[in-house]
Amino acid sequence: MTTSPSPTYSMAMPGKRFPRISLGILLVLPALTAITLLYALPLLRSLVTAFRDNDGGWTTDHLVRAFSLYGRDVLFSIGVVSAALVLIAVISIAIAGYLVLGTTPWAVRFLRWLYRWPLFIPFVVSGQIARSFLSTNGMMNGVLIETGLMMSESAQSFLDWRGLVLTFAWKQIPFVTLLLAGAMAAIDRSHIEAARNMGASRLRCLFGIILPQAAPTLWVGLILSLVAMLSVLSVPMMLIAGNPTMMTSMMAHRITYYGDYGVANALGLFSYALTAVTAWIYLRLTLRREVAS
């Protein structure tokens, strides 16, 4: 049979006269322009401004000043974020593990319905929720006192670093759990069944078989949570009145009160560095895993 083009095929030909590559670039170009103007340009400006003095010369003054003025806030941020990440990891593993290994159907169904509620609640709303729930006469202390778990004299406000950790965890646990439970559900059930048949306890199954396979997803969830916590401005502004506080709060402070973009951008550089270090550790871990397997 000959391969002479049918009439329909030749009708489709005009589209092929354009080289495909240029059409593709044409389609991507508007979005690329937008991301360049809205992201690459401000990013470049933030990096450059951190190293520029008023006369346009290069300097490291802003970095030094940022560290001497806000070193405590940087350490405070690292501490809060680390504590929150540990809490998020532990509880997400517990919830996702129970969702996969739980043997009481009603409890699994109920927990699956329950844990997701804070998933899309805005940070700014979480901040307000924490302000009322965690304050000295908030509902948390109220319930603890009414149930006899705490004396009313020892009621205290949690609106400090503990409030930040709890609020961040409350907001981010559903997100990490959603990712982790998805990854755990995708694991070959036969591995789990085999281990269970050999007499492994459910805890042993979770930490020996399921978690190692789902660990990359957990890491991704934790890194995304880290970025979210280092980005959010509203929660630290609403929960922490004085010093030390999160870096974001101090950046905003530096700009609204002093118009000092140099020091603010130098602080921004610290938050980039913090994320970059974590991402680097993650990449090293995954690379080692890939080499090993």
Q: Looking only at residues 67 through 106 of this chain, which bind another protein when binding is defined by CB under 8 A?
A: 103-104
Q: Which is nearer to another protein, 65 or 202 (CB)?
A: 202
CB of 120 to another protein, least distance (A): 4
Please tell me whether residue 165 binds another protein under the rule CB under 8 A. Answer: no
CB of 69 to another protein, least distance (A): 17
Say if CB 221 and CB 175 are below 8 A apart.
yes
Give CA angle at 219 (217, 221), nearest 5°: 70
Count other Cβ atoms within 10 Å, centred on residue 191: 13
Q: Which is nearer to another protein, 46 or 59 (CB)?
A: 46
Of the candidate residues 67, 215, 255, 260, the single one contacting another protein (CB under 8 A)? 255
Please tell me whether residue 170 binds another protein under the rule CB under 8 A. Answer: yes
Q: Which is nearer to another protein, 209 or 292 (CB)?
A: 209
Please tell me whether residue 187 binds another protein under the rule CB under 8 A. Answer: no
Q: Looking only at residues 273 through 292 of this chain, which bind another protein when binding is defined by CB under 8 A?
A: 275-276, 279
Structure tokens at 273: 């560095």
Give CA angle at 223 (82, 129), nearest 5°: 65
**Spatial CA neighbour of 263 closest among 66, 74, 69, 45:** 66
Please tell me whether residue 119 binds another protein under the rule CB under 8 A. Answer: yes
CB of 127 to another protein, least distance (A): 7
Please tell me whether residue 162 binds another protein under the rule CB under 8 A. Answer: no
Of the candidate residues 59, 157, 234, 286, the single one contacting another protein (CB under 8 A)? 234
Please tell me whether residue 46 binds another protein under the rule CB under 8 A. Answer: yes
Structure tokens at 199: 């007499």
Q: Which is nearer to another protein, 209 or 269 (CB)?
A: 269
Instruction: Give the range of 68-76, 188-196, 209-217, 269-277 binding another protein by CB under 8 A.
Output: 269-277
Please tell me whether residue 172 binds another protein under the rule CB under 8 A. Answer: no
Residue count (the chain) = 293
Report in angstroms the alpha-carbon separations of 164 from 36, 134, 232, 240: 34, 10, 11, 8
Please tell me whether residue 39 binds another protein under the rule CB under 8 A. Answer: yes
Count other Cβ atoms within 10 Å, centred on residue 165: 22
Please tell me whether residue 63 binds another protein under the rule CB under 8 A. Answer: no
Q: For residue 275, what are the contacts with CB-CB under 8 A and spacing of at least 6?
A: 223, 226, 227, 230
**Spatial CA neighbour of 235 closest among 132, 138, 124:** 124
Count of residues engaged in binding another protein, rule: CB under 8 A: 88
Structure tokens at 128: 């307000």
Of the candidate residues 89, 248, 253, 262, the single one contacting another protein (CB under 8 A)? 248
Q: What is the spatial distance between Cα 136 and Cα 155, in angstroms, rounded to a whole number?
A: 6
Of the candidate residues 2, 3, 4, 31, the single one contacting another protein (CB under 8 A)? 31
Say if CB 130 and CB 166 are below 8 A apart.
yes
Please tell me whether residue 20 binds another protein under the rule CB under 8 A. Answer: yes
Please tell me whether residue 252 binds another protein under the rule CB under 8 A. Answer: yes
Q: What is the spatial distance between Cα 244 and Cα 132, in angstroms, rounded to a whole number?
A: 22
